[in-house]
Structure 1
Amino acid sequence: MVLGVAGGIAAYKSCHIVRGFTERGHAVRVVPTESALNFVGAATFEALSGQPVATGVFDRVHRVQHVRVGQEADLVVIAPATADLLARLATGRADDLLTATCLVATCPVVVAPAMHTEMWNHPATRANVATLRERGVTVLEPAHGRLTGADSGAGRLPDPEQIIALSLLRLAGRELPQDLSGRRVLITAGGTRENIDPVRYLGNRSSGRQGFALAEVAAQRGAEVTLIAGATDELPAPCGAEVIRISSARELAGEVTARAAEQDVIIMAAAVADYRPTVTAPAKLKKNSESAPTAVELTENPDILAGLTAARRDGRIPADTVIVGFAAETGDERASVLDHALRKVRRKGCDLLMCNDVSSGKVFGRNRNRGWLISPDGSSTEVPDGTKLEVASLILDSVVRITTER
């Protein structure tokens, strides 16, 4: 792998990217610009990568380095990429080792921009990004957040783990085309918590990782993403997505209902509690006291997915809205995991159902997933074991096919 580093304050994060790739067993060659060395020294990159660092086309001329580095790369990642570097890449410049490497490379190239919001939104930068994407370069959407000084907004470098995961997705052969550009996509993620008292709640084992992966990939494929998130493992916000935090199933239902009519795609990946306590105690229930409960009476929560499909039939949601459900299933003496999922897709009325076998801790809290994509006609497609970003990519491929057919 080649890791390009441009001269911006976010260059310090590239050290974490080098470490992340090497810990996964990849050989990394760092190619910084001269400006990048003002932020992180060559010795740091050499120590972390175990490879020599050079910046110019005349370094190690006997090895024809300005050609060889790009020829031998399986993946080129540039993080951070400044507005200046984007401009030089878009115009085909080859005035340093990094730009020359990119001109030679025939492998996937992933670029993670980092700059002030005004620079990111400038028409020149937007045109350069569009040019690079047309040529097959994957230009990631930047994150929103604190920039240099007191400024805040779009243009922050994504979390190093996000860059690593999305880069490895490209290395695995999964594209990030702009085929969801202009689409509004609502995604739910994580488990809900149903309060028993101010301290205790009923919950489930969902980490929210699959829903966050869907939001990450959808945003990188051009969608306008709204992510409604319940309990999660403090996951970094997907770049470019609006994140709304909720706790209970009823809160989730309210947020989804308020936004559903404006969406082109709704993906219900959250693990919604089927039941909630009928009464929530206003104060902590004390052990060994008169208020100690001997049982918790439960009330059924609203079926949000079924409510969405009913609203679509009634015309409260546009008829062409694509609705995707999730089913976390275990087999039993009556039916297999797949049998249960087939019944659910017919009962819920959604356009697509992602079924997971969650027995024996196979999915919850893990970075990998597998299962089946099930259509209303009962046909199913196996989703092979992969990272949750890879699974998200496959699910969104199916969503794009459905939207194209409508």
Structure 2
Amino acid sequence: MITEFDHIVVGGGISGLSRAYSLQKQGVKVLLLEKENRTGGVIHSKTTACGVTELGPNSLAITPLLEQLIEELGLNDQLIKANEVANKRYIYLKGKPILINPKTLIFSNKVIGFGSKIKLLSERFKPAKNVPNETLAGVIKRRFNNEILTNLVEPVITGIYAGSPDKLEYKSSMKRMYAMEQEHGSFTKGFLASRKSGNKREIVSFKQGLQQLTDALRDQLEHVSYEAVQFISLPNDKVVVKTSKKNYNANALTLAVPAYVASELLRPIDDQIAKLIDQVEYPSLLGWQVTFKTTSIQHRIPSFGILFPSISKKVIKGIINYSEIFGTNDDCRHFTVFAAANSTNKEQVEQAVIEEFRSVYGVKDEPIESIFTFYEKAIPQFNVGHSELMKTIDAWEKIYPQIKILGNWRTGVAIGDCVNYA
């Protein structure tokens, strides 16, 4: 087997696959190394009698580069676009799901009170600020108030990061919001400008699930090997990668792996950068992929899903209604449910998730399919200090130009961000 390459990519998730594909297009002789027996990383789809079950992300938002990639891979005819109901989002407040839209925010007291409505309407008149190390909670309190943070923002952020607005760094975790304030002076003005420009990202998936994208990328690559990397060294400005099977030599290397993996692989090269990278937090998460007969759902809620703020006192943090989003099978309804859990309480959380879900949707029958997945390290947290860490890594890569560091902990957790950066 060939052991000499121009470039080695470690990590077969969407970032690593996109990076290897891009390099190969440029004529680079590239090897992709993946420790598991499959590529795709957290993107993992399976097909059942009721359609597609997503064991990871459920959809993606189209970006110009993603659109180009999908066309190059010949997947245009495999795209499925989200239904109109995907624009409907619910938040569980006061014991029931409440549709979030301008009407319910301004003309009812279901979500926020009179004072918060005034804060929403007057936000456009507040001057923009650039506060160093500001948390997401801090900016929402600065521009709005605590009720808007608790009832609206916190559940949305939990749905994205499974983390805390009190720890997340504003300008790193919500780059679009930060840009709106800096460029337009307020979130409201920025949102309205975005609506007028028509730059609304389309939500899509594929007929065989999101894994159809990662599989298509893998199939384009000439050299893919399923081996765990054990050690990396840089002799004479070259790269040597030792795996469980052999040594590979290359001129350059891309690490497209989670932060905690990158930290371990970089430790023999630079212990200081490894310690910094190891500070990136990953909360644990419990996922429930469940399918019921449509007739079993007594309280059908056509929408993208439901988010649960901490004040709801529910174990469930979010429900994604995959079947409503993509209209896959009229006879079945597939959901993905997320809850905070750890290795010691996951069985207890599983039972609570089942009971809470049945209560919300009025389900009494047994599911057709039920899969619980525990993610010990789920989603990287862009906590305060993250932007400084990224600057440090940028500077480090100039000292070690043979190595490029990728992954959703660097680029943003959205699939489009991973592809764009890679």
Same fold? TM cut 0.5: no
Structure possessing the higher relative contact order (Cα contacts under 8 Å, 6 or more residues apart): 2
TM-score (norm 1): 0.24
TM-score (norm 2): 0.23
Q: Kindly name which structure, 1 or 2, has the bigger radius of gyration based on alpha carbons.
A: 1
